[in-house]
Amino acid sequence: MTIFIFLGSLLAAMALGVPIAYSLLLSGVALMWHLDMFDAQILAQNVINGADSFPLLAVPFFMLAGEIMNVGGLSRRIVNLALTLVGHRRGGLGFVAIVAACLLAALSGSAVADTAALAALLLPMMVRAGHDKARAGGLIASAGIIAPVIPPSIGFVIFGVAANVSISKLFWPASCRGC
């Protein structure tokens, strides 16, 4: 019955258009009320403690770094570097999208910020060069998901916090620790 209360209140809140974070909060309140354990002080403490994680501050700062790079023109410079490296080849703009995505991923760690920056820069260039808009967008989107794999990334930080692993040790492979 508790699972039904939890899932029912969660799905009902999401069906009403409540954001997922608040839906989870509402389903937790519904479950606490059902079990006669409702205490507003415990609820407030858990909400504050959930947001009080120093290592998880890296997540919004990674996104901020990506936005600063985009506004400051670093993304444009990275695309120009990739253009000089591989832009002269046949299908060069596709290669440029992949190389620029790898370079941006190594700097920002956020797949969303990287893909948004690349799409704003490369999609108009690729359409002007005669590429199909849907295929160009697909290439840029698929190149943008390299960011969680290349350190530093948001996924590494979240894994390190959740598994209680040193985040600095996650960035260097075991074979390079003696280097």
The answer on pLDDT for 138 being more than 60 is: yes
DSSP-H helix ranges across 73-153: 74-86, 92-108, 111-128, 133-144
> Which residue from 141, 91, 89 is spatially nearest to 111, judged by alpha carbons?
141
pLDDT digits (tens, 9 = 90+) for 26-37: 898 898 888 888
The answer on pLDDT for 70 being more than 80 is: no
The answer on pLDDT for 146 being more than 60 is: yes
Contacts for 114 with CB less than 8 Å, ≥ 6 apart: 66, 101, 104, 105, 108, 144, 147
Give the C-alpha separation, 90 to 95, whole Å. Answer: 9
The domain segmentation of the chain, as residue ranges, is 2-52, 54-179
Give the C-alpha separation, 160 to 139, whole Å. Answer: 30
pLDDT band at 178 (very low <50, low <70, confident <90, very high): low
> Which residue from 66, 133, 147 is spatially nearest to 93, judged by alpha carbons?
133
> Which residue from 25, 24, 31, 22 is spatially nearest to 3, judged by alpha carbons?
31
- pLDDT on residue 127: 92
pTM over 0.85, yes/no: no
> Which residue from 139, 141, 167 is spatially nearest to 62, judged by alpha carbons?
167
Helix (H, G, I), strand (E, B) or coil at 91: coil
105, 111 Cβ separation under 8 angstroms: yes
